[in-house]
Amino acid sequence: MIPKTTLALLFAALAAAGPIQRREVASLNPDATAEAQKRDDTATRAFSNVQIKTSDGKCLSVDPLSGDFRANLTPIQITDCGSAQGQGWDVITAGVHNDQKGQALIVSTLTQACFNFDPRRAAGNQVLLFSCGGRADGGGQVTNSQLFAFTGGAGPLSLTPGNDPTKCFAAKGNVVDIADCNDNDASQKFTFGDAAAGGSDNGNNNDNNDNNDTSSSSATAAASSVPAATQAPATSAAAAPSATPKSAAAAATSSAGNGSQTTAAASQPAVTANPTTPVPVSGAGGTLNPTAVAEAQKFDASAVRPLESVNIRAADGRCFFIDPTAGDFRENLIPVGLAECSEDASQKFDIVTKGVHNDGQAGEALIVSVLTNGCLNFDGRRAANDQVILFSCGGRADGDGQTATSQLFPFEAGSDTILLTPNSADKQTCLIAGADRVEAAQCSGQKDQTFELVEVL
């Protein structure tokens, strides 16, 4: 992990050195960065703190302030060798975030973030550095968007991401971009070269070497085929136009429910409005950023909503509820709680069968919070008790996603019940009512895994 004091010194040096370049943030959040960008001291490194050169002799580099507050989403820049900080790279053939033999991670020695290819992003902004493992908070394991075929040697070699073997990294102007692979294209060739000046100053004392140790840990978990969602800006539900119900759900009172579970319904403070000013939040960033929220959590006025403003009630009589301050600064990563059913806006959801973030191809539905505009989301890569969360619809933390299978659930028109089994889990995983929040478990076919869609008045 990069020490906070080291981060401060490094970024002060970066601000003072070299020509002024465009930056996305004025400073990093030391706590969030230290959590997201951990150095893997167990890793096998074929190269440590070396330059990566383009075919015309320039060096790849990173400016930690060119991305977000965690040093994620930073472009891979191309600069004259020795002219900038951040030109050191590690090539990792086995470790916490690489369990695939014959594959390598390419990691910034300065920031500890990994080369990442995300085809869901806008063209020209698909090649970036991102927290190794694919989770913006550093909690990811292995993702093939960060793995590159590597058989040893310094190159010249092509960098082909594991999530699209037809694409290669390519030097384009002053950044690295993506292109269709062409072995005759010199812009797609890179060489691991000389020792880089400086380094991360974070305890990385490995000697530079050319030993290609491709031994890896057992491949017990398949690499994710989808890059993890990245934390970015959101939209205020307060600014969203109100929707006119197309059909009403069955009316119910909060005392209804005769499920077999006996968990007592917890009461929760009424949450009637989405915050529109900076307030403390439980997750990353520490303070709600209304501008970021407005970007990430946009209301889809074009969506088809067969049900609007309904409560989702478990077999034990409790209802889903959302606390907009329980997630990060964009209202992402919000746990889905359970409480005594009420008419509070925090318990209201729309069922969306088609729209910007649901292409309608699978005949399934999004479950969207009326309060925040975030979508019910299942992420099996997260800790077992933290896999069911509210996240920006489309699966991109900045709101730029399209359709994410982790947010699609089977829905039968006219039905007032729903089995919440995410498309991404191939009908093997179902959402369940846990002790105080919604969790995930293996589908059992039992009634306690079926939820009611009701309107609590």
* Other CB atoms within 10 A of residue 284 CB: 24
pLDDT of residue 331: 95
Same domain, 156 and 284: no
Name which residue leads in pLDDT, 24 or 382.
Answer: 382
Q: Is 206 a domain residue?
A: no
* Cβ-contact 147, 136 below 8 angstroms: no
Which of 88-102, 171-185, 236-250, 385-399 bottoms out in mean pLDDT, i.e. has the lowest? 236-250
For residue 175, the cross-strand partners are: 77, 172
Calculate the dihedral angle through the C-alpha atoms of 423, 426, 422, 116, rounding to the nearest 10 degrees. -70
What is the mean predicted confidence (pLDDT) over 27-32? Answer: 87
In-domain check, residue 326? yes
Residues 339-391 pLDDT 10s: 999 989 999 999 999 999 999 887 899 999 999 999 999 999 888 889 999 99
Say yes or no to pLDDT of 264 above 70.
no
Q: Is the separation of the CB atoms in 417 and 450 below 8 Å?
A: yes
Q: Give the pLDDT of residue 82.
A: 85
Domain boundary among 195, 220, 255: 195
Give the domain range for residue 69. 4-195
**Token representation of residue 344:** 């509070």
pLDDT tens digits along 103-135: 999 999 999 999 999 998 889 999 999 999 998
The answer to whether residues 155 and 73 belong to one domain is: yes
What is d(CA 224, CA 430) in angstroms, rounded to the nearest whole number? 19
Q: Are 185 and 273 within one domain?
A: no
Q: Which secondary structure element, helix H or strand E, spans residue 295, and what is its range?
A: helix 290-296
- At 18, is the pLDDT very low, low, confident or very high (cuts 50, 70, 90)? very low
pLDDT band at 6 (very low <50, low <70, confident <90, very high): very low
Assess whether 181 and 241 both reside in one domain.
no
Q: Are 156 and 256 contained in the same domain?
A: no
Clarify whether residues 129 and 35 are in a common domain.
yes
**Are both 174 and 265 inside the same structural domain?**
no
Counting residues of the chain whose pLDDT is more than 70, the rounded percentage is 78
Question: Residue 314: inside a domain, yes or no?
Answer: yes
Q: Is the pLDDT of residue 90 over 60?
A: yes
Check whether 311 has a pLDDT greater than 90: yes
Residue 333 pLDDT class (50, 70, 90 cuts): very high
Q: Does the pLDDT at position 258 exceed 50?
A: no
Grade residue 153 by pLDDT with cuts at 50, 70 and 90: confident
Please state which of the ranges 140-154, 166-180, 232-246 shows the lowest mean pLDDT: 232-246
Nearest Cα neighbor of 374 from 164, 229, 199, 263 is 229
Query: For residue 175, with 0-12 CB atoms within 10 Å meaning exposed, 13-18 middle and 19 or more buried, which class applies?
Result: middle
Average predicted confidence (pLDDT) for the chain: 80
Confirm whether 213 is domain-assigned. no
* pLDDT at residue 273 in the model: 79
What are the pLDDT digits (tens) for 272-296? Answer: 678 888 899 998 888 899 988 999 9
Give the model's pLDDT for residue 25: 77
| Token digits of residue 365 | 């539905």
Task: Mark whether 187 and 56 lie in a shared domain.
Answer: yes
Q: Which pLDDT band, with edges at 50, 70 and 90, does 443 fall under?
A: very high
Under the banding of pLDDT at 50, 70 and 90, the label for residue 253 is very low
Q: Do 137 and 245 belong to one domain? A: no
Mean pLDDT of the 59-82 span: 93
pLDDT tens, position by position, 318-330 = 999 999 999 999 9
Does 219 map to a domain? no
Query: Contact, 120 vs 398, CB < 8 A?
Result: no
Shared domain check, 14 and 142: yes
Looking at 145, 177, 195, which one is the last position of a domain? 195
Is 200 inside any structural domain?
Answer: no
Cα(361)–Cα(154) distance, integer angstroms = 45
267 assigned to some structural domain: yes
The CATH number of the domain holding residue 32 is: 2.80.10.50
pLDDT of residue 447: 87
Assessment of whether the complete model's pTM goes beyond 0.85? no
- Residue 139 — pLDDT band, cuts 50, 70, 90? confident
The number of distinct structural domains making up the chain is 2
416 shares a domain with 302: yes
Span 77-94, average pLDDT? 90
Q: Are residues 241 and 327 in the same domain?
A: yes
Domain's final residue, options 162, 195, 228: 195
Asked whether residue 297 is assigned to any structural domain, the reply reads yes
Among 156, 259, 204, smallest CA distance to 43 is for 204
